């Protein structure tokens, strides 16, 4: 093959809660994203007990895509997008999550949004759950620690598959389901699974239980989606940060392998429909008594995914230490700085070669089509007095990653479906809640405190990406 497929899905990616705003419009309920304040690099977002007066909740207005999506999609079309990845805010469809009937105003919003995309020849790529589950499911049910969530999620999935089956072909179930491997910090358990831990609670088995229910829910959703319409393509979504050994010392290599096991077993279950033996042995060693039934195991085998969607921003590194003889991975403690790569202002290690490695790793393990559904450079952009933004650093980052992606396809023979850079229009950062951590080709005039006109303007990278798409990845 000389390059990317003729029907390669170039586009951009966002998530409902990070750009829509309109947090109460059209009957929308409160989501987990609506109770998270703005933080900063090194300052975690506060998760409040409901929406409190006097706090800054950046997702409530976000970039007001809810009212401005026509203007924004027109700009995406101008760049030549073939597809647009977003999510459906669960709380627009089931405001509390446990209702029996969906909210028609929410369904109508996505009908209009998808129609607008299709009008411009842009294929919607849709995530069902992207860090925005109903907050009611947290307060009433304890989030995904409760088995009942499976039914609520599957009901939501069936409603939207049924409704949009002729408008949306590509779906993913849970965004970055494996982020919660980092269960010692509060962010991932809450955004992935609506988990709030009691002080001193043994967090790890709770995470595995929640993830198990999600994997069953994902499999049941995949099965239901196929029954509704066999032409739907339903994938998983994994946050890929490959973990390198700091040195070639054999124990460092084993530590890296164990770390990969602990961060990526989720993919095994999604793709193969069963737990890897190393994890079952780990549950036994740790004495975790998880609620995994025979029906669950059967369900997992019946809902294997069609493709692997993944995000790639950075690689990690780890090393063995004397106080960890079993070489167990604890993401809050086991990572070390890689001296061979640069870091972004937010400490994310910049490693384009890691993308080629990741593509090969996924392909070697699973032989399923791959879709890079997030990649990008969060940076502080400066708008000049004439309104322009010279984001050459973003162009450099993306070009370097696309070059490696091409090697994976052309030289290594990986089957790659498409590429949707993250935050194709500036939006609220998930990790920090900041506006100033920008990823877009399109600048949005809004700051961390919520000031600004919300006007859109093209950055330098806008015309660059347009050329990339027009040349199917040849003009970088
Ligand atoms: P922000 C951590 C590591 C890798 C990806 O992230 C991550 C996270 C969580 O912060 O999240 C994904 O906005 C996620 C998006 C998110 C994007 O990466 O923290 O799917 O919702 O916005 C970038 O810079």
Model pLDDT for residues 216-228, shown as the tens digit of each residue = 999 999 999 999 9
In which residue are the tokens 């950062």 written?
429
Q: Closest ligand 1 atom to the C-alpha of 428?
A: 13
Is 129 touching ligand 1 by the criterion CB < 6 Å?
no
Q: Closest ligand 1 atom to the C-alpha of 346?
A: 24
| Predicted confidence (pLDDT) at residue 193 exceeds the cutoff of 60 | yes
Is 311 touching ligand 1 by the criterion CB < 6 Å?
yes
Packed helices 148-164 and 203-228: angle between N→C axes, nearest 10 degrees: 30
Residue-wise pLDDT tens digits, 145-189:
999 999 999 999 999 999 999 999 999 999 999 999 999 999 999
Q: How far is the CA of 3 from the centre of ligand 1 (A)?
A: 29
| Predicted confidence (pLDDT) at residue 1 exceeds the cutoff of 60 | no
Active-site residue list = 374
What are residue 418's DSSP bridge partners?
Answer: 9, 371
The pLDDT-based confidence of 106 (bands split at 50, 70, 90) is very high
Q: Closest ligand 1 atom to the C-alpha of 188?
A: 9
Is 368 touching ligand 1 by the criterion CB < 6 Å?
no
DSSP secondary structure, 419-454, as one string: E--BTSB----TTT--SSSB--SEEE---TTS-S--
| Predicted confidence (pLDDT) at residue 144 exceeds the cutoff of 90 | yes
pLDDT at 424: 98
Q: Are 422 and 32 in contact (CB under 8 A)?
A: no
Q: Are strands 83-87 and 123-129 parallel, antiparallel or unpaired?
A: parallel
DSSP 326: T
CA distances from 397 to 4, 5, 61, 378, 475 (A): 19, 22, 29, 10, 15
What are residue 36's DSSP bridge partners?
Answer: 47
Tokens of 52: 């409190």
| Predicted confidence (pLDDT) at residue 455 exceeds the cutoff of 70 | yes
In which residue are the tokens 């709770």 written?
206
Rounded CA separation 222/298 (Å): 13
The pLDDT-based confidence of 56 (bands split at 50, 70, 90) is very high
pLDDT at 411: 98
What are residue 95's DSSP bridge partners?
Answer: none
The pLDDT-based confidence of 120 (bands split at 50, 70, 90) is very high
State the CB neighbour count (10 A cutoff) for residue 382.
9
What's the rounded mean pLDDT across residues 16-44? 97
pLDDT at 437: 98
Of 129, 422, 437, best ligand 1 pocket probe by most atoms within 8 Å of the beta carbon: 422
Tokens of 238: 């994994």
What's the rounded mean pLDDT across residues 426-434? 98
Q: How far is the CA of 251 from the centre of ligand 1 (A)?
A: 30
Residue-wise pLDDT tens digits, 64-94:
999 999 999 999 999 999 999 999 999 999 9
Q: Which amino acid residue places its CA nearest to atom 2 of ligand 1? A: 431
Q: Which amino acid residue places its CA nearest to atom 22 of ligand 1? A: 430
Residue-wise pLDDT tens digits, 232-274:
999 999 999 999 999 999 999 999 999 999 999 999 999 999 9
Q: Which amino acid residue places its CA nearest to atom 17 of ligand 1? A: 430
The residues, any chain, with a CB within 8 Å of residue 167's CB and separated by 6 or more, are: 111, 114, 115, 118, 124
Q: Are strands 442-444 and 456-458 parallel, antiparallel or unpaired?
A: antiparallel
Portion of the chain with pLDDT greater than 90, in percent = 100
Is 431 touching ligand 1 by the criterion CB < 6 Å?
yes
What percentage of the chain's residues is helix, strand, coil (to nearest 5)? 40, 15, 45
Q: How far is the CA of 376 from the centre of ligand 1 (A)?
A: 10
Is 15 touching ligand 1 by the criterion CB < 6 Å?
yes
């Amino acid at each position: 093959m000389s390059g990317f497929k003729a029907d390669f899905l170039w586009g951009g990616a966002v998530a409902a809660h990070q750009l829509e705003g309109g947090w109460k419009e059209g009957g929308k309920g409160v989501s987990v994203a609506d109770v998270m304040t703005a933080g900063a690099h090194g300052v975690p977002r506060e998760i409040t007990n409901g929406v409190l007066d006097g706090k800054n909740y950046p997702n409530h207005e976000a970039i007001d895509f809810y009212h401005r999506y026509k203007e924004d999609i027109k700009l995406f079309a101008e760049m030549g997008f073939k597809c647009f990845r977003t999510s459906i805010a669960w709380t627009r469809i089931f405001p509390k999550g446990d209702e029996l009937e969906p909210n028609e105003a929410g369904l109508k919003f996505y009908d209009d949004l998808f129609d607008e995309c299709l009008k411009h020849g842009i294929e919607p790529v849709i995530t069902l759950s992207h860090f925005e589950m109903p907050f009611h499911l947290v307060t009433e049910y304890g989030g995904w620690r409760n088995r009942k969530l499976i039914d609520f999620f599957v009901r939501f999935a069936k409603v939207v598959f049924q409704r949009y089956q002729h408008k949306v072909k590509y779906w993913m179930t849970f965004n970055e389901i494996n982020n919660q491997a980092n269960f010692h910090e509060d962010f991932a358990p809450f955004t992935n699974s609506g988990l709030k831990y009691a002080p001193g609670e043994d967090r790890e088995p709770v995470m595995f239980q929640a993830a198990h229910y999600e994997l069953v829910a994902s499999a049941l959703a995949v099965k239901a989606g196929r029954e509704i319409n066999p032409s739907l393509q339903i994938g998983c979504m994994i946050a890929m940060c490959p973990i390198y050994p700091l040195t070639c010392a054999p124990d460092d290599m084993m530590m890296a392998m164990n770390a990969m096991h602990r961060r990526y077993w989720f993919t095994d279950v999604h793709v193969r429909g069963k737990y890897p033996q190393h994890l079952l042995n780990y549950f036994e060693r740790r004495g975790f008594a998880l609620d995994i039934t025979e029906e669950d195991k059967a369900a997992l085998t019946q809902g294997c995914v069609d493709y692997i969607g993944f995000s790639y921003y950075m690689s990690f590194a780890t090393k063995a230490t004397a106080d960890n003889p079993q070489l167990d991975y604890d993401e809050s403690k086991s990572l070390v700085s890689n001296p061979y790569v640069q870091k972004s202002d937010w400490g994310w290690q910049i490693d384009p070669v890691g993308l080629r490695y990741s593509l090969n790793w996924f392909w070697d393990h699973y032989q399923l089509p791959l879709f890079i559904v997030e990649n990008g450079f969060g940076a502080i952009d400066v708008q000049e007095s004439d309104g322009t933004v010279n984001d050459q650093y973003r162009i450099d980052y993306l070009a370097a990653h696309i070059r490696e992606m091409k090697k994976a396809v052309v030289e290594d023979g990986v089957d790659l479906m498409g590429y949707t850079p993250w935050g194709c229009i500036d939006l609220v950062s998930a990790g920090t809640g900041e506006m100033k951590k920008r990823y877009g080709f399109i600048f949005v005039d809004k700051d961390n405190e919520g000031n600004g006109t919300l006007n859109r303007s093209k950055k330098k990278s806008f015309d660059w990406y347009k050329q990339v798409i027009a040349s199917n990845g040849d003009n970088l």
